[in-house]
Amino acid sequence: MSLTAALSNSSNALNVLQQALDVIQNNVSNSSTPGYAAQKLNITAQPFDIASGAAGGIAAKGLISSRDSYADSEVQRQLQTLGAFTAQSQGTSALQSLFDVSGTSGVPAALSNLYTAFSAWSASPTDAAAEQNVISAAGSFANAVSQLSDSLQSQATGLNSQIGSTVDQINTLAGQIRQYNQAKLQNPEPNPGADASFENTLEQLSQLTNFTALSQPDGTVTVLVGGGSPLVIGNQQYSISAQAQVDNNPPAVNPQSIPTSQILDDQGNDITASITGGQLGGLLDVRNRVLSSIIGDAQNTGSLNQFAKTFADTVNNILTSGTTSTATGAPAGLPLFTYNNADATFAAGTLAVNPAITTAQLAPVDASGNANGNANQLASLALPANTAGQIGGQSFVSFFGGIAAAAGRENATAQSNATLQQQVVSQTQSQRDQISGVSLDAQAAAVLEFQRAYQAVAQVLTIVNSLADSILAVVRQ
């Protein structure tokens, strides 16, 4: 091999080694950049054949990324689950806080006071003060139920708003993915910085909703949200939207119920059922399943409305079945409670004391003429064994306690799931980082390796230079 070839090979080798060192420097600089995967210069040997004039040496053939698509996909999948559990935990925590499990305030305390008033009235059915206490306690109970209903409906409105904001965030991230695809179509060459930003965007999207990302031959990525609705295809974005309305598919049983949240694709198709992961999936679950089970929706009455209606009807039926006194021709009793029955989901929110009733119109006498028969029946509603005061085999106290307990269980389950899932995410991310993350120790070892190679090539250049000087000296002589 000629000295000229040796000089050329050595010079080229120094250039290649410098590129390798630059790649390492870039890795170290981006070691904490979200989504960045360690890069390595692909160094290949050039053919060496004296007969044909192939001089050998080394050449740089682009970058090799350590990114593992399967590891990235698994991290995204686990983040989708974590996002759902976290949103469920936060949403049910706010829901649980509306119920006083101690029984010292709210509906439990008001119901207990009403039962006490019924009991006192049964002992003195003609006492005006006892009768007034019944009406006052009934008013406090109705007010507690309607206030709870209002608070739950306000939470529903807040969840609908959060769902809308989350959809906006999803569409914003979809726009960033579309921009990445546009850049890929213009220049398909690997770009570690752009790829890192893109992977970070996918992880952010994972925390918001469940999706599938499919790599295409042209370098772009197709993103399908939920069960396969397009979000980004090539350089086209297909935005989703959120709306709150009464679901009429199937036809609504309660057409005037509080609107639930729906997610629509860019064609207006309802894809709510397919959104199960990420923050959006968790919020939808709390709003449309957990909260609707209490306040009702297009198909369900809601446990709180069932409680309010059944209790009011039970008390009203007892009072209207009797009379205000034992005197012949005494007027029949009036109902104690009223509520709007235009829609089954209105009962709790509109529960109130009958504005027309006075103490003189309470009916302590039952249909058999017992002076305190009705008052005794009302007092006995507090007894768990009284079948007249039950909902589905439970006393009114137990039934309402079940509503609060269910909210507590939802929150406890969501919190436990979120805690465990956070551990799974951390483990998955750690495994991914072991594959594609930047190890500073490994980069330091690579620096030493290439530095020594650099020094060796430099030594070759020194020797070649010395040989050239010797040859030139001979030529001069």
The CA-based angle 20-25-29, given to 5 degrees, is 150
For residue 148, the model assigns a pLDDT of 97
HEC letters along 122-160: HHCCCCHHHHHHHHHHHHHHHHHHHHHHHHHHHHHHHHH
pLDDT in tens, 211-242: 999 999 999 999 999 989 999 999 999 999 99
For residue 390, the model assigns a pLDDT of 83
For residue 103, the model assigns a pLDDT of 76
Tell me the pTM: 0.86
For residue 295, being part of any structural domain is answered with yes
Where does a domain end: 247, 268, 300? 300
Report d(CA 202, CA 181) in Å as an integer. Answer: 13
Same domain, 59 and 76: no
Q: Are 335 and 313 in contact (CB under 8 A)?
A: no
Same domain, 57 and 206: no
DSSP codes, 48-113: EETTTTEE--EEEEEEEE---HHHHHHHHHHHHHHHHHHHHHHHHHHHHTTS-TTSSSHHHHHHHH
Report d(CA 386, CA 390) in Å as an integer. Answer: 7
For residue 439, being part of any structural domain is answered with no
The CA-based angle 10-16-18, given to 5 degrees, is 105
For residue 378, the model assigns a pLDDT of 95
For residue 422, being part of any structural domain is answered with no
Same domain, 49 and 77: no
For residue 278, being part of any structural domain is answered with yes
Same domain, 171 and 287: yes
Output the six-digit token pair for 99: 């119920």
For residue 292, being part of any structural domain is answered with yes
For residue 104, the model assigns a pLDDT of 84
Digitized pLDDT (tens) for each residue of the chain, 477 residues in all: 566 666 666 777 777 777 777 767 776 776 676 767 666 777 777 776 566 556 667 777 777 766 788 888 999 999 999 999 999 999 999 999 999 877 788 999 999 999 999 999 999 999 999 999 999 999 999 999 999 999 999 999 999 999 999 999 999 999 999 999 999 999 988 788 888 899 999 999 999 999 999 999 999 999 999 989 999 999 999 999 999 999 888 899 999 999 999 999 999 999 999 999 999 999 999 999 999 999 999 999 999 999 999 999 999 999 999 999 988 889 999 999 999 999 999 999 999 999 999 999 999 999 988 999 999 999 999 988 777 778 888 999 999 999 999 999 999 999 999 999 999 999 998 998 888 767 777 767 777 776 777 777 677 767 766 776 777 777 776
Report d(CA 346, CA 338) in Å as an integer. Answer: 11
Task: Map residue 270 onto helix, strand or coil.
Answer: strand
Buried b (16+ CB within 10 A) or exposed e, 370-389: bebbbbbbbbbbbeeeeeeb
For residue 55, the model assigns a pLDDT of 60
For residue 310, being part of any structural domain is answered with no
For residue 453, being part of any structural domain is answered with yes
Count Cβ atoms within 10 A of the Cβ of residue 325 and give its class: 0-12 exposed, 13-18 middle, 19 or more buried. Answer: middle
For residue 402, being part of any structural domain is answered with no
Output the six-digit token pair for 281: 């999936």
Buried b (16+ CB within 10 A) or exposed e, 251-269: eeebeebbebbbbbbeeee
Same domain, 57 and 171: no
Nearest to residue 204, comparing CAs of 73, 33, 79, 78? 79
Same domain, 46 and 179: no
Same domain, 57 and 172: no
For residue 3, the model assigns a pLDDT of 60
Same domain, 15 and 76: no
Q: Are 277 and 209 in contact (CB under 8 A)?
A: yes
- Range of the structural domain that residue 461 is part of: 3-66+444-476
For the chain, the average pLDDT equals 88
For residue 30, the model assigns a pLDDT of 67
Count of residues in the chain: 477
Same domain, 77 and 199: yes
Same domain, 193 and 238: yes
How many structural domains comprise the chain? 2
Where does a domain end: 283, 300, 317? 300
Same domain, 285 and 165: yes
Same domain, 165 and 286: yes
Output the six-digit token pair for 414: 């969501």
